Amino acid sequence: MPTSLRHGKLPPELLREILAEQANLPSEVRLGPALGEDGCAIDVPAGTLIAAADPITLTGNDVGAHAVTINANDIAVMGVRPRWFLAVVLLPTGTCESDVRALFASMRSALEDIGATLVGGHTEVSGAVNQPIVIGQMMGFSPEHRFLQTGGARAGNLIVQAGFAPIEAAAVLAADMNPQLAAVDPEILALARQAVTHPGISVVDAALLATDAGATALHDPTEGGLSAGLHELADASGIQIRLDEAAILWFEPGRAVCDALGADPWGALASGALLAAFPPDRAADACRSLENRGIPARIIGKAVSGSGVLRSDLSPLPIFAHDEVARVFGERSRTG
């Protein structure tokens, strides 16, 4: 019998094979679908259109704002400001008008925060979903035809982490009424529950600052955590990353929640962190520029010739079969 796929991203080898089957792209497509890339780039006469799409499926809490932020991050890490947003909103049977109004109010507030606008989409109440799901598409525009991509890191570059991890996992896991969370200090748990807004999961400002500071590549680690983000950066760029684990910027409430639930923070939802590659003569100045804007930043590794991601002891950084948040929720559903 065929093996069923697990929840989460498709296995990288399967996705790579599927994308390789695509026919030649039109000449105006500067960047098409590729493993680890956050969006696409399409040339038009006046510049380059940048577009990205992402759903929010692992949580039903505040999905309107969540969808805006996650998709805005994908545009910003290409070095372009997010401007236009489309949303497919799928609502479960039993949804009330007040729920819809609240979802769109949170979406509008998030759009105002980043200076983008809702320009279209689709809304539907459907028996096919059991929680609100928003599938977003964000677009931006580069009049100079310039953009960054995940595959832009080169051997010799230094790898910078801006923002903490795992912020998103902290909020999603802490919102669940799992009895194991009783072991977490209530004040720490409260910090985890508010993590989506403080410190927040947006990397728009950090990504645009890093672009101005001379980044060669940017990436937004999300599902699969910092581990997946680092492996995607290395794979897309054709380099090896050697980490300084002591320099990793951990969100301690996130680590506490992960520890209580038996989850590995390396593989847990990491929106709110940014990975950036810089020439060695620019990395330190970039970190200072980010820090001066209130964004924690640290050099966490170096790109060298080779492949994969190595820890400080030169052992491989594990790749997680699926996100640790999804695994925790899946195990809980099976045990009741």
In SS3 terms, 140-170 reads as EEECCCCCCCHHHCCCCCEEEEECCECHHHH
Looking at the structure, tell me whether residues 158 and 137 fall in a common domain: no
Q: Predicted confidence band at 335 (pLDDT cuts at 50, 70, 90)?
A: very low
200: Cβ contacts below 8 Å, ≥ 6 apart: 167, 272
Considering the entire predicted model, what is its pTM? 0.92
Name residue 1's amino acid: M
Q: What is the pLDDT of residues 181-222, one digit of tens each?
A: 999 999 999 999 999 989 999 999 999 999 999 999 999 999
Amino acid 255: pLDDT: 97
**Structure tokens belonging to residue 221:** 């680690």
123: CATH: 3.30.1330.10
In Å, how far are 80, 98, 124 from 2, measured between CA atoms? 42, 43, 33
Amino acid 333: pLDDT: 52
**140-169: string of b/e by CB count within 10 Å (b at 16+)?**
bbbeeeebbbbbbbeeebbbbbbbbbbbbb
Give a yes or no: residue 5 inside a domain.
no
Give a yes or no: residue 126 inside a domain.
yes
Domain count, the chain: 2
In Å, how far are 5, 44, 184, 331 from 70, measured between CA atoms? 24, 25, 28, 26
Q: CA 202, CA 322: separation in Å to the nearest integer?
A: 23
Q: What is the pLDDT of residues 89-103, one digit of tens each?
A: 999 999 999 999 999
Looking at the structure, tell me whether residues 288 and 171 fall in a common domain: yes
Q: CA 247, CA 178: separation in Å to the nearest integer?
A: 31
In Å, how far are 55, 71, 143, 224 from 209, measured between CA atoms? 26, 18, 18, 25
Query: To which residue do tokens 């903490």 refer?
Result: 164
Give a yes or no: residue 321 inside a domain.
yes
H helices, E strands: number in the chain: 10, 12
In the listed set 110, 142, 174, which residue is the last one of a domain according to the structure? 142
User: Mean pLDDT over all residues of the chain?
Assistant: 93
Looking at the structure, tell me whether residues 170 and 277 fall in a common domain: yes
Looking at the structure, tell me whether residues 230 and 119 fall in a common domain: no
Looking at the structure, tell me whether residues 195 and 274 fall in a common domain: yes
Q: Which domain holds residue 122?
A: 36-142
Q: What is the pLDDT of residues 110-128, one digit of tens each?
A: 999 999 999 999 999 999 9
Residue 8, Cβ density class (10 Å: 0-12 exposed, 13-18 middle, ≥19 buried):
buried
In the listed set 142, 166, 196, which residue is the last one of a domain according to the structure? 142
Q: Predicted confidence band at 332 (pLDDT cuts at 50, 70, 90)?
A: low
Sign of CA dihedral 323, 60, 274, 163: negative
Residue 122, Cβ density class (10 Å: 0-12 exposed, 13-18 middle, ≥19 buried):
exposed
Sign of CA dihedral 31, 221, 105, 293: negative
Query: To which residue do tokens 């100079």 refer?
Result: 144
Q: CA 101, CA 155: separation in Å to the nearest integer?
A: 49
128: Cβ contacts below 8 Å, ≥ 6 apart: 90
Amino acid 336: pLDDT: 45
Amino acid 58: pLDDT: 65
Euclidean distance between the first and the last CA atom of the chain, given in angstroms as a whole number: 27
Q: What is the pLDDT of residues 156-183, one digit of tens each?
A: 999 999 999 999 999 999 988 788 999 9
Average pLDDT over residues 51-80: 90
Looking at the structure, tell me whether residues 85 and 182 fall in a common domain: no
